[in-house]
């Protein structure tokens, strides 16, 4: 039975570290370099609810850097330059302080094509080689999404695709593509930033919601399912979460929730 940690607390290293430890810790990741995949879909700062909080990433770096190589990664989106978002969000200061590189995956020319077994939308996906050679932490945001209902740990993995113009994947069925991506590159750990979340017109233009939460787990499906329930969504009715469970990528039920209960922290997010 997968464990998902739900920790409520002030915006601090301690809150993040408690969530990580309750979810089982990160020592299982030290066999390879670790890429922390952030959500930089816009240049808006963390307190708008749109982007990953640099403090949460800093907490991860503090845990991981003594154990293995660490880098922060994101790729350009159709309307966003990841390098500019890296500066505007304040993540650049964290990387400078800890001497950790930021990698814009769009600029990675060494790439590999990977076949997708039992695919829903993509029979083959091209990833930067560094992605396939590393353990991935999905450092996601707790947000609503106009197309996928929610954008959490699994949706965050969409940004590992190095193409700037990602609209073509939306035409193929974005939720199906999300499942295919996670079937090939399954995050080794998911950490969802809910210090300030977003409701309404997510993933960029919604309204911030102060939740003071961190949600963490090794099972990406279970972690997203718990996060969705906290937002007032039924995971079985969110295509990419339900389909990922059907394809054996994780559990949508029979989850051990530690820390706070779902009911205690639940808030119905505006769609």
Domain boundary assignment for the chain: 3-265
SS (H, E, C) 222-264: HHHHHHHHHCCCCHHHCHHHHHHHHCCCCCCCCCEEEECCHHH
- Cα distances from 138 to residues 16, 34, 270, in angstroms, run 14, 11, 24
Dig out the tokens for 72 from the structure: 């922060």
pTM of the predicted model as reported, rounded to 2 decimal places:
0.97
Task: Tell me the pLDDT band of 73, cut-offs 50, 70 and 90.
Answer: very high
Q: Which fold has domain 3-265?
A: Rossmann fold (3.40.50)
For residue 168, what pLDDT band results from cuts at 50, 70 and 90?
confident
Percent pLDDT > 90 in the chain is 95
Contact 262, 233 (CB under 8 A): no
Q: How much is the pLDDT for 164?
A: 83
């Amino acid at each position: 039975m997968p464990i998902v940690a739900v920790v409520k607390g002030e915006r601090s290293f301690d809150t993040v570290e408690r969530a990580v430890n309750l979810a089982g810790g990160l020592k299982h990741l030290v066999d390879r370099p670790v890429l922390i995949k952030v959500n930089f879909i816009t240049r808006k700062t963390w307190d708008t609810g749109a982007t990953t909080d640099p403090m949460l990433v800093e907490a991860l770096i503090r845990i991981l850097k003594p154990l293995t190589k660490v880098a922060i990664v994101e790729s350009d989106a159709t309307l966003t330059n990841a390098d500019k978002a890296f500066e505007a969000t304040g993540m650049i200061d964290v990387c400078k302080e800890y001497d950790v590189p930021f990698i814009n995956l769009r600029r990675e020319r060494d790439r590999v094509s990977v076949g997708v077994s039992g695919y829903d939308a993509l029979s083959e996906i091209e990833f930067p080689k560094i992605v396939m050679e590393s353990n991935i932490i999905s450092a996601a945001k707790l947000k609503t999404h106009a197309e996928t209902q929610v954008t959490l740990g699994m949706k965050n993995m969409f940004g590992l695709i190095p193409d700037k113009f990602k609209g073509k994947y939306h035409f193929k069925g974005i939720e199906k593509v999300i499942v295919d991506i996670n079937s090939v590159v399954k995050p080794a750990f998911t950490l969802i930033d809910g210090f300030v979340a977003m409701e309404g017109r997510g993933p960029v233009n919604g309204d911030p919601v102060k939740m003071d939460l961190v949600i963490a787990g090794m099972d990406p499906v279970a972690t997203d399912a718990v996060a969705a329930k906290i937002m007032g969504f039924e995971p079985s009715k969110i295509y990419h979460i339900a389909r990922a469970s059907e394809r054996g990528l994780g559990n949508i039920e029979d989850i051990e929730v530690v820390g706070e209960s779902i009911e205690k922290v639940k808030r119905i997010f505006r769609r």
